Amino acid sequence: MITPMKKVTIICLEKDKETSLETLREMGVLHVTPLVNPTGVKLNAAKAKVLHVRKALEAVPDKSNKDPLQVEKPVEMVHELLSVRKNATDEISKLRNDLLRFESFGNLDPKSIESLAEKGVFVKLYEVDAGKSISVDGEALVLPFGKNANGMTYAVISRNTPVSVNNAIEMPLPSLSLAEMRSGLESASAEIQKVEDSLEGLATSRSQIVSELNSASEELELQEVAGGMIGNSCITMIQGFCPVSRLAEIQEAAKVNGWGVREEEPSEDDLVPTLLTHKAVAKPMQFLYDIIGITPGYREIDVSAVFLAFFSLFFAIIVGDAFYGLLFLVLTIVARIKLPNSKSTGFSFMYLMSGMTIIWGVLNASYLGLTPEIAPWVASLDLANHSFCPEGLKSAMSWIRNSSNMQFFCFCIAVVHLTIAHAWNIVVQIKNKSITALAQLGWLFSTWYMFFLAGNMVLGQKVPEFCRNFFSGPTSAPMIYVLIAGVVLLVLFSVPVSKLKEEWISIPMLALNIVNNFVDVISYIRLFAVGLSGAAIAESFSEMLAPMFGSVGGLLGAAVVLLLVHTLNIALAVMGVAVHAVRLNTLEFSNGLDLQWSGFNFNPFKKRGTN
């Protein structure tokens, strides 16, 4: 459920501001909303500190085989090393550019040229654009030396006085000889390697840097909250949202600290955070919400239980293979053993997904795409071949393994899923005393009509007999009357009379939306298509490689190929879940419920590491 919130305003004395903020942070019950845009010197300093420490953390590797480097202030040490590395990198860049420009002159040494100038022999270096020729005014020796990035290079040698040179650009003498440049490159590269070794040696100090980053982040959050308060020289005020169940904590703290507290219901204009309180059965859903990055709005509906139930079914159909599910289960158990202190929601989620996949795979006798003809032992895994399996279950397994029946089953999932959405919306609109509840009833009628229409158009006469009794064509009774009733309700009640002037365009758009309603039902057949494609890939490769099973070498070769195939197949299945299973819940189902996922998580002002 979505936890009810109260808008809370707290007033305290300006001189008690820091103490009050520390108290609120220790309590961790208030999602603070700034009353003004946070600014200030302390805030800027806190931001700079976080960036400073984060940069140091990013530079230190997680693990290293180098000898540990023990230092008292690792953050400052890292920045000293980064400064050395930057200087060395800049030096390498400069030396490389100079080498590229002057390397055509061989072992050029500027000191030798300066020494010759003292004796009256002048040597000048020039660059000439490609396609141009150099000329001199006076007596001089012109020596070509080769090419660089800018063109041809020349040395012009004259006695007693330098000569004028045409069509050329004089090159200033480098500060170092080419030999010194190469030596400098080696020294700078060695300096960088030394820095990298030192950074790896600081890997053991990473936890200390993380702790410092947490402290800096806490200080930043504190300054952001303080900067968002308003007041004067006497009093100051902070505002935010608190779960109703924890209001008593603020009231008790107000008595102790002398605060003035005002509690009120959030207004329609307030951006209220969402705090989901899951029942035990729906707790794994929070893991999926966090991965997808969605949260229902405060005034929306918590659909976690329904979302999780259908998502697990979609996951099982798309992945489809019992051995894949078993692999997920084993990996989850191993990860749980390796990470005993991690949150349980992710593991619970994977236990459910793995279990549902195993059950679905067993019902369909889907085991790595192997058939009894390829691997006779697979027959013993098929429950339908055992006498202890109830006849009803055998009939159900036989029915669902039929391609046409499976497609019809997907349409059944669609109509149930969308019916829940529209029926739930009807209840919500009735509670809100909105006439649009009748429009939702119209969408419910339309959805059932589209269910029978989809079955007729896609499956034809292969739909079950009871469906044909209801529907054998686009204008069949009694379903055509259901559609007519639905359209009438939609036209009359989709837009409240009070909003008809602003939203009249919604009425003519109903025709397109009704077509979309048909598309919504049809889209659930993607479960069958994606699940079938994965099974087909596995079965096809198993059949192609079956002749190799006769020898040890062939069996090993086939095993390697199948390992790669099944790894790819699992990756594709997971992608299919991410695209299709998520879409059917967040788009088709959510549209029927008018659920926008417009919320943001409740994030109280609190000490890091506290609940």
Q: How many CB atoms lie within 10 A of CB 563?
A: 10
Pair 69, 198: CB distance under 8 Å: yes
What is the 8-class DSSP label of residue 462?
Answer: G
Look up residue 356 and give its two tokens. 């549902």
Q: What is the pLDDT of residue 610?
A: 47
pLDDT digits (tens, 9 = 90+) for 221-279: 999 999 999 988 899 999 999 999 999 999 999 999 999 999 999 998 999 999 998 87
Residues 356, 309: Cα–Cα separation, whole Å: 10
Query: Which residues 6+ apart lie within 8 Å of 491 measured at CB?
Result: 507, 510
Phi first, then psi, for residue 144 (nearest 5°) are -75, 140
Closest-CA residue to 55 (of 215, 211, 197, 209):
209
Helical pair 403-431 and 526-545, crossing angle rounded to 10 deg: 150
Report residues of the chain scoring pLDDT below 50: 475, 610-611
Retrieve residue 13's tokens: 């004395």
How confident is the model at residue 465, as a pLDDT?
A: 59
Instruction: Provide the whole-model pTM.
Output: 0.79
What is the Cα–Cα distance from 151 to 153, expressed in whole angstroms?
Answer: 7
For 65, the token pair is: 């085989």
pLDDT at 611: 46
How far is 515 from 519, CA to CA, in rounded Å? 6
Both structure tokens of 442? 């119209």
For the record, the structure tokens of 314 come out as 């979609």
From the list 26, 38, 29, the residue with the least C-alpha distance to 8 is: 29
